[in-house]
Structure 1
Amino acid sequence: MELPLKVDSKQDSQLQAKFDAAMRLYNNVLREAKTRMELVRKSEAYQVARKIPKDNKKERSAAFSKARDAYRFTDYDLQAYANRAAKDSKWIAQNIDAQTQQKLATRAFKAVERVLFGRAKDVRFKVQNRFRSVEGKTNKQGIKWKKDRVVWAELEFKAIADFDNEVIKHGLSCPVKYCRIIRRELNGKRRWFVQLVLEGTPFQKPKNKVAEGLIGLDLNISNIAFVGDNAAGLLPFAEGVPTFTKEITQLQRKMQRSSRGLNPDNYEPNFKARKGRKTVTKKGKVKKGKLQWKKSQNYIRVAQRKRELERRKTAYAKSQNRRVVNEILRHGKDIKTEKVSVKGWQKRYGKAISAKSPGFVQSELKRKAENAGGSFQRFSTSSTALSQTHLDGSRTKKSLSERVHYDVTGIAPHHRDLFSAFLSRHVNQEDMLSLQDAVNEYPRAEPLLLEAWQHSINRKQVGASESRKSDSPLERFSNQPITSSQIANTGEKLAGDVA
């Protein structure tokens, strides 16, 4: 549970000093952990452990542990190193307690361990604007929560909250495991928050109750189709979220002009180029290598405005996408979906993925479904090919621009994503589609699929301003009836909409 803190100017400077000390200690431990990791990699014991077959897990794991112990590349050893490094620097020891020192060491160890396991390419050393949080190990020492405030050594910060709110009440009734202090920049000003890591289950609003049932999903770049036992929908991601494209572009141009004016030696010279029949002057690119950059006060102010717009855009998108997740879970918590690569989408549709965040929706669905006792099954797209499959088992390849599924069996035309979501309900544990089950359920599911397509068409006609009036995405549409023939005619208009 996150709460804002009331911090005066003196406390703000003291917190800044503590965060600065924590950042320096973290970077110190990170450097030491990286050095020890390289020694482990080059050791003979590590090379021998790599040659042990993966089937022999116990022997392989014991060999790797022995190689890491030889060079003291363990969480415990790095915690001891952090305590010694803090004592050597009296200033760090005065600002950071022992519990927080150990937690910073664990954080650095986990970052380097990801590199050792091949889950990351390299670690990133922190600078002031990228070091945003400090946390303790328990609520008994170091950073502590007491009644309505945070206590850290001699500092006390009162939380700003409506303690009569049912969500706050539920959170404070749970035991506090440990506290995390967050530093954020909002609208160019520094703000402080506390995150209480609690024991128990989060508060659940009655309208967001997770229901029993099976959900078939089809995840796309800008929307998600779901089909449940008694409902279906085609929900857009980040609906009505302002992109601030024009404003951000203008600020980027200002920053570029300021940077080029103050750092002319860091850019290649301008050059002439042909643009149609005209000859235009193009700006030189940034020179390669390590460069020193000068930043004016105007550049810093413009950069702050740009960061604020991007932060607001991200916050709005997360809020709207969480509504989509809650809407799906209202109809079921056992989810089946295709195993798609959002990272692959990022390379092809970078800006769209950044604006819509389909990966965030997928991860939130998995987390909330499993926390509620449900399941999240992902199956292979190559073995199922749901977007190409007809109810008789035949397959027809479709381009991305074809958004309507015309089944060869003569059933009503359906939206491609909704029909794929319907078929995903019938994929078994062996990643095989059970067509007979799909054929048996289709008569009951047909009106749900047509109604969901109707809603998606009406949504586009209503517009973003009206669509945000209701909390439930499925209640934001007009109730005018639409026939199957009208949907088929409308499908041609939707052909260019690559959702």
Structure 2
Amino acid sequence: MPRSKTTSFITELPLKVDSYSESELLSRFQAARQLYNACLSEAIVRMNLVRHSEIYQSARKITKEQKKKRSDAFTQARKNYRYSDYEIQAYATIVSNKSKWIADKIDSNTQQTLATRAFRASERVLFGNAKNVRYKAPKRFRSIEGKTNKQGLRWKDNQLVWGKLKLNPIIDEHNPVIQHGLKSPIKYVRLLWQELNGQKRWYVQLVNEGVPYQKEKNYVSDGIIGLDLNICNIAFVGDRQAGLLPFADKVPSYEREIKALQRQMQRRMRGTNPENYEPDFIGKVGRKVVAKKGKPKKGKQKWNKSKSYIKAAIKKREIERKKVAYAKSQNRKIVNEILRYGKHIKTENVSVKGWQKRYGKAISAKYPGFVQSELKRKAESAGGSFIKFSTQKTALDQIHLNGQRIKKYLSQRVHFDQTGIVMQRDLFIAYLSRFVNDEDNLLLHLAQSEWERAEPLLMQAWKEFQTNCERVSESESRLSHSSLEQFCMKLRTVNQIAMDERKVNFNS
């Protein structure tokens, strides 16, 4: 039974799980993981047979103009080696019935969803969207979902029901988002676990039919928005509002804490596994002669992890998890702020993956790709659009309002237009983005006629951005000044103790 294509949203609830229920859940997850890996292995074998068959190779040579003939050839290649979602589901049934304990732990509907999940993973390799598949280790297999809400893994009477196992959720009765999800029709249910501070926490996700609850402050307006996505901020220009908003605002980087934990983990690993490292040696750093640690030996080694190493690793994962969660929550505020002024978005077709090679740390700290994908998802779900246009064809960072194209260095953040206009570079690009048509052509005459009305909005956004930057720099200087004062107080205290000890020694 194929799933319906209606709009969906997710309602997540934490579960009350005792030790007995958790052991049962872990055994079911283990059975599901082994079944998934078996289906994935079989799907990869059949996919390779299809890909290397003569029919498939000849089908690739058929021109795309002959769609019917090409499609029939690919379908025949799949049929010859029984490579389809239905066939992998049948294989999952055979595997689970032969190993009886999997059939006892996993119902037939869940078996089919696991087989479909494995088949889609293999299809991504076939279509060239992935280089290889990844078999699931116990710590990487974190979710199971049902097929419908009628049998198997389902939600019934405000409980998660899976066979004889019944789990009660923690429901906030005063939360309108949760109450809206509980009252909406449920398509199917997903069960998952997350690691919080080294402990497993279990959650249920209800995949509801319909649209999610919308808070009054997060309304979506009908209008055109021009965007300019950068590494650390995003500029937007609408019909009646403009802004330059920083990503992951007020989110600490935790660099010092993470580096300290990484050094601690490295020391623990070297102390526990000295045989896996090359011997230490004497090397030179400039003119200095220093002792250097030996590098890890090549090849597969057996690594033993001490309890202190595991504790440090858990602490590091928890810091990184909190940082990601806080950064995403702050970036969601940016998305909601932009959609208040328009849902038809136009932006340059930039590659965030390409930025990662050059600005890896900034990308991992600010998450511009997350903002881009959330804007696209929310705009389209609200009936809007998300249009990307070519950067090479438009070259908005070089265009002036009189039509001239003059290259600028990336470090030049202020645009000095040939017509005498002075504007912040990102805001000016976002303004021009509003006037790019579907054929990736900039309608410069419209940008010229609208400039007089839009200039006050852009100037106001620029001033607000400068004010915020000054506030941040002042707060950072205060923080550094206070930390310096604390250091000086500690130093004075240490010196006073030393002087007192000297006096005691002198008198004695």
Q: Which amino acid aligns with 2:304?
A: K
Deviation at 1:209, TM superposition (A): 0.7
Matches of 1:287 and 1:404 in 2, distance apart? 51
> 1:14 is matched with which residue?
24
Aligned partner of 2:105 among 77, 88, 95: 95
**CA, structure 1 residues 63+285, in 2 after alignment: closer, same or farther (shift >3 Å)?**
farther
**CA, structure 1 residues 59+466, in 2 after alignment: closer, same or farther (shift >3 Å)?**
farther
Q: Which amino acid aligns with 1:335?
A: I
Aligned partner of 1:455 among 464, 469, 477: 464
> 1:380 is matched with which residue?
390
- Structure 1 residue 281 corresponds to structure 2 residue 291: yes
> 2:227 is matched with which residue?
217
**Paired residues for 1:415-494 under 5 Å:** 415-463=424-472
- Structure 1 residue 178 corresponds to structure 2 residue 194: no
Deviation at 1:273, TM superposition (A): 2.7
Could you tell me whether the CA contact under 8 Å between 1:3 and 1:194 is conserved in 2?
yes
Q: Secondary structure at the match of 2:139?
A: helix
Aligned partner of 2:269 among 259, 268, 279: 259
> 1:227 is matched with which residue?
237
Deviation at 1:465, TM superposition (A): 11
Matches of 1:445 and 1:360 in 2, distance apart? 28
- Structure 1 residue 33 corresponds to structure 2 residue 38: no
> 1:127 is matched with which residue?
137
> 1:478 is matched with which residue?
none
- Structure 1 residue 200 corresponds to structure 2 residue 210: yes
Q: Secondary structure at the match of 2:442?
A: coil
Deviation at 1:295, TM superposition (A): 1.2
Deviation track 1:91-125 (CA, whole Å, cap 9, x = no partner) reads: 11111111101101111111111011110010111
Deviation at 1:399, TM superposition (A): 1.2
Aligned partner of 2:322 among 312, 319, 328: 312
- Structure 1 residue 70 corresponds to structure 2 residue 104: no
Q: Which amino acid aligns with 1:339?
A: N
Deviation at 1:301, TM superposition (A): 1.4
Matches of 2:290 and 2:122 in 1, distance apart? 48
* Matched residues, number: 466
- Structure 1 residue 414 corresponds to structure 2 residue 423: yes
Matches of 2:366 and 2:268 in 1, distance apart? 31
**CA, structure 1 residues 419+102, in 2 after alignment: closer, same or farther (shift >3 Å)?**
same
Deviation at 1:464, TM superposition (A): 9.0
Q: Which has the higher mean CA deviation after the structures are superposed, 292-301 or 19-28? A: 292-301
Q: Which amino acid aligns with 1:157?
A: L
TM (normalized to structure 2)? 0.90
Matches of 1:269 and 1:56 in 2, distance apart? 65
Could you tell me whether the CA contact under 8 Å between 1:273 and 1:280 is conserved in 2?
yes
Could you tell me whether the CA contact under 8 Å between 1:263 and 1:294 is conserved in 2?
yes
Deviation at 1:185, TM superposition (A): 0.6
- Structure 1 residue 345 corresponds to structure 2 residue 349: no
> 2:249 is matched with which residue?
239
Q: Secondary structure at the match of 2:345?
A: strand
> 2:149 is matched with which residue?
139
Matches of 1:153 and 1:428 in 2, distance apart? 56
Matches of 1:345 and 1:214 in 2, distance apart? 27
Matches of 1:59 and 1:265 in 2, distance apart? 61
- Structure 1 residue 43 corresponds to structure 2 residue 57: no
Q: Which amino acid aligns with 2:354?
A: G
Could you tell me whether the CA contact under 8 Å between 1:239 and 1:464 is conserved in 2?
no
Q: Which has the higher mean CA deviation after the structures are superposed, 15-24 or 416-425? A: 15-24
What stretches of structure 1 of length at least 5 have no aligned partner?
468-499
Q: Secondary structure at the match of 1:337?
A: strand
**CA, structure 1 residues 155+397, in 2 after alignment: closer, same or farther (shift >3 Å)?**
same
Deviation track 1:168-190 (CA, whole Å, cap 9, x = no partner) reads: 22111211000000110111111
Matches of 2:293 and 2:339 in 1, distance apart? 51
TM (normalized to structure 1)? 0.91
In terms of Rg, which structure is larger? Answer: 2
Could you tell me whether the CA contact under 8 Å between 1:240 and 1:465 is conserved in 2?
no
Deviation at 1:466, TM superposition (A): 8.7
Could you tell me whether the CA contact under 8 Å between 1:50 and 1:60 is conserved in 2?
yes
Q: Which has the higher mean CA deviation after the structures are superposed, 330-339 or 384-393? A: 384-393
Could you tell me whether the CA contact under 8 Å between 1:240 and 1:464 is conserved in 2?
no
Q: Secondary structure at the match of 1:129?
A: coil
Matches of 1:286 and 1:387 in 2, distance apart? 47
> 1:474 is matched with which residue?
none
Q: Which has the higher mean CA deviation after the structures are superposed, 100-109 or 263-272? A: 263-272
Matches of 1:61 and 1:268 in 2, distance apart? 57
> 1:358 is matched with which residue?
368
Deviation at 1:339, TM superposition (A): 0.3
> 2:92 is matched with which residue?
82
Could you tell me whether the CA contact under 8 Å between 1:227 and 1:418 is conserved in 2?
yes
Matches of 1:46 and 1:279 in 2, distance apart? 63
Matches of 1:458 and 1:71 in 2, distance apart? 65
**CA, structure 1 residues 214+179, in 2 after alignment: closer, same or farther (shift >3 Å)?**
same
Could you tell me whether the CA contact under 8 Å between 1:338 and 1:378 is conserved in 2?
yes
Matches of 2:270 and 2:238 in 1, distance apart? 56
Matches of 2:121 and 2:138 in 1, distance apart? 18
> 1:188 is matched with which residue?
198
Matches of 2:93 and 2:237 in 1, distance apart? 54
> 1:476 is matched with which residue?
none
